[in-house]
Structures are given as structure tokens and as C-alpha cells.
Chain A
Amino acid sequence: MFGLTALALLPLRGAQAQLEIEIISGNPSALPIAIVPFEWRDATPPPITSVDQIISGDLYRSGLFDPMDVEDMAEKPLEEEQIRFGTWRLLKVDYIVIGKVRTPASGEGHELVYQLFDVHTQEQLLSRITTVGPGDLRFGAHRVADAIYEALTGVPGAFSTRIAYVTATGLGNGSRYELVVADADGYAPQSIVGSPEPLLSPAWSPDGRKLAYVSFEKGNSAIYMQDVSTGSRELISSGTGINGAPSFSPDGSKMALTLSRTGNPEIFVRDMATGRSEQITQHWSIDTEPVWSPDGRYIYFTSDRGGRPQIYRVPAGGGNPERVTLEGDYNARASLSPDGRKIAVAQGKGNEYRIAVWDIETERFTILTPGKLDESPSFAPNGSMILYATREGDRGVLSAVSADGNVRQRLVLSEGDVREPAWSPVIR
């Protein structure tokens, strides 16, 4: 019995059911682009999903692009000289990408060689070689999509990133929770820890190598930190009361967390090198869900010290908290945009919870999602999308919404609940 329990709690890495991503509402002004099938000159056999399909899929899901179906391509040029721009203009395509995959001179891994052209001006906008290791061809395709996205929108892409989320299946004693890490397109999901007890609040380290999370495997909440690739993990906090809401500082040297060892939840900052914790807030209310400003100067958190939950901020070294969100009955679980100017929150009004974004400068909310039970917003590292958890019937699903609210997509698992999404930083 003990052996079985111990085994069930061990960090594990296993294949998981994949998230299916579908666009719910798109952008009518999406840019028409043709990603011509890449020539396969690599020494290894070609993959089932070609790199051009992966690139098209990434650009399509961003909502900003309308990639052409391969069947509709009248020509499939492989070299610059073979592109007849007039044909592509007739096909109403604004941009065209051609490329090839080959084995580098070293003999290891893959080289993705590609060019991007403006069909109207016939100008070359990009000409690059992206080199990746063996087994990283998909990652390479996402890097190409990142570069195309940046060349045409001015914002770096976030396709070569990853997402973490929690799945829950079963009820009561048959419950099973998994913390899963997958590519940003939902591909290659891997469970990094599984437990019969609840898991929540995954938070990425700034280098994208570690995840901190809350686990109830010991009967009470406890914070763990786990290496995503090796699976090795460390117990960070398991004191009396709540041990929750971990959040790494932008330089990774500190972790903000919620502890209730003083009798009610307060924000603490832990020095990761010494393991020492410093209390940042002191109030009888619930203070929780700390997150750092991108410059590391402030900690934003949820507090009901004014009666209902609102977002406050406090200097990271301690000081007087000031209220940030000034409208609405219930604003909680802040996620800061990478430029530090916007705060995504779960906003409650009556029984409806929606994702709303507070503009720090103009002091205004924009409501981005339809509800009813939307929570856990997580900004993409380029600020373009916000991933969040919602419900469809009695199931938990993930959704993503563009920062302007125009594009929404749904990430659905074949069975069980999906919740608690966390978008990774950009992995270089």
C-alpha cells in the first residue's frame, strides 16, 4: 500500500492526451500568406507533419494570418528565381515563404533555410538559416514562424514557447491530477508530476527550465520546484497553514509566495540562494497571488483588505501597499504584460467571471472574454495573447484570447478538466 502511494506521488514523465486547438473567432483582416512546402533535402526521413504545415498552423492560430491551403497553390516554387509574383498576386496572396530543410555540415540536426517575400513589391523581407539539434525539427519550424511573425507585425513571435497546465480526471477517491508541459501549439504533452491530490498554481522560472507549483500530496498545501527536463524536484515550503501562489522574480533569484503561518495569508519573498523568507505584507485580510512587475521593482497581489478582492502593489522589498484596480466588485489573480503596462485579471460581477485587462496608465478596464467562469489569465511572453481557464458545461477547458480581444481560440482535451495554464518565457 505504501509502495503504491509513494509510486503514485513520484514525479513522472509520460505522454498525455493532446490538446486540440480551434479558432472560435478570427480576425477578418488576417494577412493572406503562402507557406510553400519546404524542399526536403535532409539525410533523415521526412516527418509526418511537414515544417511548412507547422509554420502555417502557428500563423493561423495567431489570428493575424490567413495561410493558403497547399491544394490551392498553382505553383510550388523552391528557389527565388522560380517565384512568379504575378501568379501569387492573382491568387490574392500578400506574402510568400519558400524554403528547404537540410542536414548541416556537422551531420547533426537540421538546417531550415528560408526566405520571405512581399508579393506586391517583390522585396525580400527575410533570408535566414535556423539550425536546430536532432529531434528539434518542430522547434525549428516554430522558430521560423516566430521570425515571420516578427518581420510582418513588429512583435517577436511566441510560437517556440511552451505551456504548463493541470489536468484533473475522476471524482472523489478516484481523482487524478497531472501537471503537464506541452508546446505552445498543444503538441508533445508530457506529464511532469501526477498525484491523487490536487495540484495548482504552476509558475515558470524565467529561464523556462523549472516550474514551481502547489501540491496537496502531503494532506496540506505545499510548494515544490521541479526541473522540467530532469524531473528532479525540491520542497520549497510546507509550513502550517497555506503554502501557495509561487512566483519567480524576473532574475530568478527570489520567489514570492503566500504563507498563512501568521494566522492569515500574507505575501513573503524567499531568497532562492539562502532559503530565507521575508514577510512583505501584514494585514488581517487575505493577501495572495503575488506576481512581479517585469522590472522586478513591485509585487502585485490580490487582497480583500478593502472588503472585496482587488489588485494592490507593494515595493518588492516591502513598504506600503497601494490599490491598483479601481473599478469592479472582484478583481483577482493578476498577470502582467511583458511591458508592465497592463494587468490581466479574473473579474467577477455577480456569478459571471471574465478576463479583463487593466491599463495602468489610463486606469481603465477592457473586458476580453464572454465568461461565465473565466479565470487564471496568463500573458504570452510577447504580450500578444492571454491564455486562461474557462468552463464548457461541466468541463474545464483552456482558451486563449488576443490582447485586443478580437481573436479567441479553444484548447480542448479529449477527456477530463484542463485548468491553471501558465505560458512559459521565451526559451533561447
Chain B
Amino acid sequence: MNTVLRLFVALVIGLTLAACKTAPEAQPEQPPAAKPTPPPVETAAAPDPRDYSDARNFDNPESLLSKRVIYFDFDKSTVRPEFRGIVSAHAAYMAAHTSARVTLEGHADERGTREYNLGLGERRGNAVSGLASAQGGRSNQLTVVSYGEERPTCRVSDEDCWAMNRRVEIVYTAR
């Protein structure tokens, strides 16, 4: 197994475990475009999952381009090492497609005050934006919007749910 694949498997296991511990409605929001991949057809070559300039990889669960959520530690805005690859993949796509536009939606969990959490969500969005810029994304391609704790993906007051809500969602407004 190559490193990318191992990381991906670890991520899937991690998410599945987290989802099992929470209530059914607390299922983390999977990257929006995770459609079932059609069975491979002999004639059309499958995209190389590590070719991050290939837009087909947005729907390829084996590619980091299909991952669009970055999770954070409590009251922190550091992009954890296991998520850096995802940011790099999207930065590479933006570098290859200068017309691509991305909104980084920053979120916080429910603990703490709403306005402070708006600041925290923005700080997380800025951290992802800074990393993406350093890796080839241009500043005019990246917009940060903070929703603070106002748009949770789950509403249970426990650590598993809070972990799902502390996130930055990478949303393409143009590909």
C-alpha cells in the first residue's frame, strides 16, 4: 500500500469509528460530491489519483481531491499533519486551473461564545488559505468565510460531535 492510500484508509477507519460512536444523525457530512464511482471501463483510462490537475479526481474516492473537509483540535487553528496532503492536492489543482475559485468555510464547535467562535472559524479558514497559498494557490482564488458555531454538522454535546464540527470545508465556486 502506498502512503497516500494508507493515509486514506486510516482516515476512513477513523471517520467510521467516530461515526459509530455518535447518534445516526450525527454522521459527519461526507465531501458533497462523493458519488459512487462507475465500474471501470476498459477503454477509458482511469485517472491517476495523484494527478491533482485532473478534475475527474474530485469524484475519485482514491484521490485526495475528493476530500474537502479539514478537522481541527479544540480552540486551535493549526492544520494537523494528516490533513496537509488534502490542502496540497487542492492547491495543486488551483495552480493548474487559474479560473478555479474556492471558498474556505471555517467552523467551530458549540463551546464558547458565538462571536469568539466566529473569530476562531475565520482563523481556521485563514490557516488553510495560508497553506494553500504557500503551495501554489493564488490569493484571488481563495476566499475565507467564517460561520463560527452557527452551522454545525451534528448537534450532540459530546467530543465526537464537537470534533466533526471543528472544521474547514473546501467549497469550489468555480472549477
Chain A residues proximal to chain B, CB less than 8 Å:
171, 198, 200-201, 216, 219-221, 241-242, 244-245, 258, 260, 263-265, 286, 288-289, 302, 304, 308-309, 330, 332-333, 346, 348, 351, 353, 372-373, 375-376, 391, 394, 420
Is the C-beta of B147 less than 8 angstroms from some C-beta in chain A?
A: yes
Tell me if B113 and A264 are in contact (CB < 8 A). Answer: no
Tell me if A245 and B111 are in contact (CB < 8 A). Answer: no
Is the C-beta of B122 less than 8 angstroms from some C-beta in chain A?
A: yes
Tell me if B150 and A216 are in contact (CB < 8 A). Answer: yes
Q: How far is the CB of A331 from chain B (nearest CB, A)?
A: 10
Is the C-beta of B172 less than 8 angstroms from some C-beta in chain A?
A: no
**A352: nearest chain-B partner, CB-CB:** B111
Chain B residues proximal to chain A, CB less than 8 Å:
75, 110-116, 118-120, 122-123, 126, 144-147, 150-151, 155-157
User: Within 8 Å CB of A200, what residues of B?
Assistant: 114-115, 150
**B121: nearest chain-A partner, CB-CB:** A242
CB contact between A346 and one of B113, B118, B145, B147 (< 8 Å): that residue: B113
Q: How far is the CB of B101 from chain A (nearest CB, A)?
A: 14
Given A219-B145, A309-B113, A376-B113, 15 more pairs with CB closer than 8 A: A171-B155, A198-B151, A221-B118, A241-B146, A242-B119, A244-B118, A245-B115, A264-B126, A289-B113, A289-B116, A302-B113, A330-B112, A333-B113, A348-B112, A353-B111
**B75: nearest chain-A partner, CB-CB:** A308
CB contact between A264 and one of B75, B122, B147, B155 (< 8 Å): that residue: B122
User: Within 8 Å CB of B155, what residues of A?
Assistant: 171, 394
Question: Max chain A CB contacts within 10 Å: which of B75, B111, B114, B147?
Answer: B114
CA distance A219 to B115 in the complex (A): 16
Tell me if B120 and A351 are in contact (CB < 8 A). Answer: no
Tell me if B146 and A221 are in contact (CB < 8 A). Answer: yes
CB contact between B116 and one of A220, A309, A420 (< 8 Å): that residue: A309
User: Within 8 Å CB of A308, what residues of B?
Assistant: 75
Main secondary structure of the interface of B (DSSP, over half): mixed
Q: How far is the CB of B121 from chain A (nearest CB, A)?
A: 9
User: Within 8 Å CB of B126, what residues of A?
Assistant: 263-264
Tell me if A286 and B144 are in contact (CB < 8 A). Answer: no
Tell me if B116 and A286 are in contact (CB < 8 A). Answer: yes
Enumerate 21 A-B pairs (CB-CB under 8 Å) in ascending A order. A200-B150, A201-B114, A201-B115, A216-B150, A221-B118, A242-B122, A244-B118, A260-B119, A264-B119, A264-B123, A286-B116, A286-B120, A304-B116, A309-B113, A330-B112, A332-B112, A333-B113, A333-B115, A333-B116, A394-B156, A394-B157
CA distance A348 to B156 in the complex (A): 19
Once A216-B150, A242-B146, A288-B116 are accepted as A-B contacts, the answer to whether A260 and B156 lie under 8 Å apart by CB is no
CA distance A260 to B156 in the complex (A): 30
Tell me if A289 and B122 are in contact (CB < 8 A). Answer: no
User: Within 8 Å CB of A219, what residues of B?
Assistant: 145
CA distance A309 to B108 in the complex (A): 15
CA distance A227 to B145 in the complex (A): 28
**A393: nearest chain-B partner, CB-CB:** B157
Tell me if B119 and A288 are in contact (CB < 8 A). Answer: yes
Tell me if A302 and B116 are in contact (CB < 8 A). Answer: yes
CA distance A200 to B147 in the complex (A): 11
User: Within 8 Å CB of A286, what residues of B?
Assistant: 116, 119-120, 123
User: Within 8 Å CB of B156, what residues of A?
Assistant: 394
CA distance A333 to B111 in the complex (A): 13
Once A241-B144, A286-B123 are accepted as A-B contacts, the answer to whether A348 and B115 lie under 8 Å apart by CB is no
User: Within 8 Å CB of B147, what residues of A?
Assistant: 198, 216
Q: How far is the CB of A282 from chain B (nearest CB, A)?
A: 15
User: Within 8 Å CB of A333, what residues of B?
Assistant: 113-116
Tell me if B114 and A375 are in contact (CB < 8 A). Answer: yes
CB contact between B113 and one of A263, A332, A351, A394 (< 8 Å): that residue: A332
Once A198-B150, A265-B122 are accepted as A-B contacts, the answer to whether A220 and B145 lie under 8 Å apart by CB is yes
Tell me if B113 and A373 are in contact (CB < 8 A). Answer: no
CA distance A69 to B73 in the complex (A): 55
User: Within 8 Å CB of B150, what residues of A?
Assistant: 198, 200, 216
CA distance A221 to B147 in the complex (A): 8
Q: How far is the CB of B105 from chain A (nearest CB, A)?
A: 10
